[in-house]
Amino acid sequence: MTLSFEAIQTLSVIGICFGLLIFSRFAADAVLLGGLSLLLLLGVIEPTEALLGMSNEGMATVAVLFIVARGLAQTGVVGWISNTLLGRPRNTAVAQFRLMLPVAGLSSILNNTPVVAMLVPAVSDWAKRNNLSVSQLMIPLSYAAIIGGTCTLVGSSTNLVINGMLSDYGSHNNLALFDLAWIGVPCVIIVIAFTIGFSRWLLPKREGKNERFEDARQYVVEMEVEADSPLTGQSIEEAGLRQLPGMFLVEIDRGGRLITAVSPQEMLCAGDHLIFAGDVRSVVDLKNIHGLKVAEKQVFKLQGGINARCLVEVVISPSFPCRGKTIRDSGFRNKYGAAIFAVARDGETIKSKIGDIKLEPGDTLLLETHDQFVGEQRYAKDFLLVSEIENSRPVRHEQRNVAAAILIAMVLMVGIGFLSMFKASLLAAGLMIATRCLRIEEARQSIDWQILLVIAASIGLGGAMDKTGAATAIAEAMVGLAADSPTATVAALFVLTAVFSAVISNLAAAVLVFPIAVAASQQLNVDLIPFAVTLMIAASTCFATPIGYQTNLMVYGPGNYRFIDFMRIGLPLTFIVGITTVLLVPVVWPF
């Protein structure tokens, strides 16, 4: 089949996009949207075709799952998962194993998208608490979820679609639920072993986007162990208070007795006052630990519900009316409706009781206040700078069980086939807001539009390949090269599907290649089953690019990755899984 002029244009534009993604630092959404716009301007696709990705159910599902994941984070479910289920690994290799094995198991029976959506914030929190590089964990998370879906028919929507197409073509040997496990389980073992063994060289060691810069402002914060705290009776190490990044436990005040040089084995008691020194982001993390509260009593005299509070930094101006006065005598809380619970001066910590500190121009104050404070004081002459701390609103621990129940219900409804993934996630997001696990403003802010634009643009580019016949022409040419050998044809099918899955969605790639697989099996006069199984596995080996599979896109930003990072580890992994599939399929399903 000869390529049309439009097909050549489409392949050229996609090639340019890939070149820019690999060899430049341009944002992925800008590159892919630029490529899609160019095809639109060239007349290759119509506006409705260019916008097709914006109405795609998969993209919408990812958007709604961002809201569900934010609800889980805001209610403490994410923190519970990171502390209780993932534990405290000794090193990165142990962390990857403890993460990948259960994720692969979950993804074999559940849709992998909600699994990753739930775990992305948990893994970020886990990496931070255990001083691990988040970029060493996010790709392994996605890869485990992807390959876990190859073990059963329900592990991936692609498997179900291809199995249904087998029936349409009159196959008398449709696959049973666990038939794919003959190939999927060895592939899971290989992916986990390869990732753990080679990630130290093939994956970057970077921090998350919000953790790349040192914070010069250091605060001393006093926290109290609540009377009914789950931390009571735990050691400092067991409570996770020893390895807080950017935060150091200076001493413990226990009924007036100071415990300095605190041992990791020191047991916590109700009423203990813990004095920490650290940067502002660590203060936010500390404040969200279940069972700890700010020790300064003035914080609890603020008007308004606790869920309407946030942390704000202000810098005192020379015209501040209370300069030279102690915080206790300044009447700050009554005047501004805000409570001071930490002060930084010239980038150094001030080791005094909050009430005894004399306020001076240039001091940076960390306040807990109502959510209208920034708007009211942004241009006030009393402060040189007013800035709300990102993600500083209190965690709603009292809603944790509600949020967990919503998540479990969502997964069960999808698992039994009662609702589609999109409908179930939409219902879950609505319930998160209705039950006050999440505020509407927080739901709006939780959506990562960059990822959604990348998904939508990728779908549009894939549609252009389909419309112009570029995909079909390449498929027929590759399979034609190996038409006389069943094993070589299976290998060609794997390569073809894996390549297509890297540039268009895996489901679209599988559906596109399936008719070619049917034609090849008929020409060779062999059973269609081994070709269909190869197609299912190949469509799920979307390791080499972030745009091939939505879970890759979900970890792209949080892992602070570049396009080339996926290729560096994904290409050899795809090759190894391909060899395994080509060798095992003829053994399990002889031609």
Domain boundaries, the chain: 5-207+450-588, 218-388
Q: What is the largest CA-CA distance in the chain?
A: 92
| Residue 24 CB contacts under 8 Å (≥ 6 apart), including other chains | 31
Q: What's the pLDDT at 213?
A: 42
Across the range 556-576, mean pLDDT stands at: 91
Higher pLDDT, 10 or 158: 10
Residue 27 predicted with pLDDT over 60: yes
Question: Both tokens of residue 494?
Answer: 């794997």
DSSP class of 208:
-
Cα dist from 432 to 409, 417, 426, whole Å: 12, 22, 10
Is residue 40 scored above 70 in pLDDT?
A: yes
Which of 2-16, 327-341, 508-522 shows the lowest mean pLDDT across its residues? Answer: 508-522
Q: What pLDDT does 305 receive?
A: 53
For the segment 205-215, the average pLDDT, to the nearest whole number, is: 56
Whole-angstrom CA distances from 299 to 84, 351, 471 are 30, 19, 63
pLDDT tier for residue 185 given thresholds of 50, 70 and 90: very high
366 has which bridge partners? Answer: 313, 342
What pLDDT, in 10s, does the model give residues 424-467? 889 999 999 999 888 888 888 888 787 788 778 877 887 787 78
Q: Is the pLDDT of residue 326 over 90?
A: no
Kindly report the average pLDDT of the chain as a whole number. Answer: 82
**Which neighbouring-strand residues pair with 367?**
312, 340
Strand partners, 591: none
Confidence bin at 127 (pLDDT 50/70/90): confident
- Provide the b/e sequence for 410-447 (b: ≥16 CB within 10 Å): bbebbeeeebebbbbbbbbbebbeebebbbeebbeebb
Concatenated DSSP letters for 140-186? HHHHHHHHHTTSSGGG-HHHHHHHHHHHHTT-S-PPPTTTTHHHHHH
The percentage of residues in the chain with a pLDDT greater than 90, rounded to a whole number, is 19
Categorize the per-residue pLDDT at 580 as very low, low, confident or very high, splitting at 50, 70 and 90. very high
CATH fold for domain 218-388:
Alpha-Beta Plaits (3.30.70)
pLDDT > 60? residue 304: no
Looking at residue 349, its pLDDT comes to 62
Confidence category of residue 212, pLDDT binned at 50, 70, 90: very low
Average pLDDT of span 374-400 = 81
pTM metric for this prediction: 0.68
What is the SS3 assignment for 252? strand
